[in-house]
Structures are given as C-alpha cells and as structure tokens.
Amino acid sequence: MSVRLRARGSMRAFDVGIEVMRDGRRVDTAIGEAAVQCAATEGPDALPLSPGPGASPLAGRRPAARDGIAGGPATLFGLAPGQRAKTMRRFEPGDLDEYAELCADANPLVVDPSAARRAGLPARIVPGPLLAGMFSDLLGTRLPGRGTGWMKQSLRFLWPAHPGQALQAMVEIVRVRPDKQLVNLRSTVRDISGALLVDGESLVLVRNLARARG
C-alpha cells in the first residue's frame, strides 16, 4: 500500500488530498485541513512505520522550533520568551517643562496645572513620549541591550501618569524570530499599586547585538 499527498495553499494550513493505493488501485480518498510533518524512514533518524500498541497515529518526533511556537522556545543571542527588564522613574514638574519647551508641546494638560484640574485631573499629565522614552532606555541598554534597533512601537494609554508618581516600566520578550533577527516585546508602565497605565508592544532588530557585545 502507498500514500500520496497533494497539497495546495500556505505552509501553515492547507488543503491536502490523500490517495491510498493498493495493488495499483485507488481505494480511498479524503480532503481536509492538515499540517504535514516529513520524517526519515531510513538511517539513524528513522521513525517507526507503524505505531506501537495504544499509540496515537500522529505520535513521533516533535517538530523543530519555528519562531518560538513549536518544539520549544526559540533563542537568539541568548534571548528567549519570558525574559524581562524593569526600571523605576519619577517625572517631576521640571521634566514636563523641559519637554514642552524642547518639543513645542503646548498641550494645556501638560503645561498648565489649572487646566488639568479643570479637566478633573489631580495634576498635569506626563506626556506619552516621555513614558515611551522609558522603553527606549530598557530596550537599548538592558533587554535586548546595546546594538538593538528599535523598529516599531504600539502604545495604548489607559490611565494618565502625573508628576511625582512612581512609575515602573517593563519590557518582556514574547516572541523571538531567529530567521529575521527580530524580537517582539510587551512594553508596559504601571504605578506603584500595579495598575496598568500604558500597554504596548515593541519590535526590535537585534542583528547588531554581537558587534556591540564584542
């Protein structure tokens, strides 16, 4: 008996037609969505042609890791999902004044305490770019570290941060893509109680890490 597969579509999920041949005649066909794993049938890496008693017909060697999804977490320059880096910071009123002057940001909620109070806020708000700057420091000096190229950043500002407030920024690796030398990290800012103020994701290029470490 022999089995022939005909596949079409993407590499992740595709339609596969299965032809079962016995004595040169087709005896059964099936169509469905499947992921196909190729295994050696000869040599030291060969898998058994038939499962043992009680074994699943899909049992066998685990597939190699791909983008940290199958076969365990992928690593790149020692980087792996779950690694974290944190920093604490307080922004003072003078920091907001310097930012507003440097960037010509005339947002009254940033520069005018009375305008902030009229809006129902206890104090001026720390502008988003200053909060995002905490991620720049973490990514470029801690995780992944020097040589990191910060390519993309998404941010959601859930609650305002205020001058004098203790803030903790954290980046955590959620995906490593060795084939493209890219790393995705969740990026968050929380207050001292643990309330989430900012939530986002960073995409960084790490191909220059080895050069920076050398």
What is the distance between the alpha carbons of residues 156 and 132, in angstroms, rounded to a whole number?
11
Question: Residues 75-111: pLDDT tens digits?
Answer: 789 999 999 999 999 999 999 999 999 999 999 999 9
32-36, 71-75, 106-110, 159-163: least confidently modelled range:
32-36
**Under a CB-based contact definition with an 8 Å cutoff, are residues 96 and 126 in contact?**
yes
What is the distance between the alpha carbons of residues 50 and 160, in angstroms, rounded to a whole number?
61
Question: Residues 56-66: pLDDT tens digits?
Answer: 333 344 333 33
What is the distance between the alpha carbons of residues 69 and 73, in angstroms, rounded to a whole number?
7
What is the distance between the alpha carbons of residues 185 and 143, in angstroms, rounded to a whole number?
9
How many Å is the maximal CA-CA distance in the chain? 89
Domains and CATH numbers, the chain: 1-61 (no CATH), 84-213 (3.10.129.10)
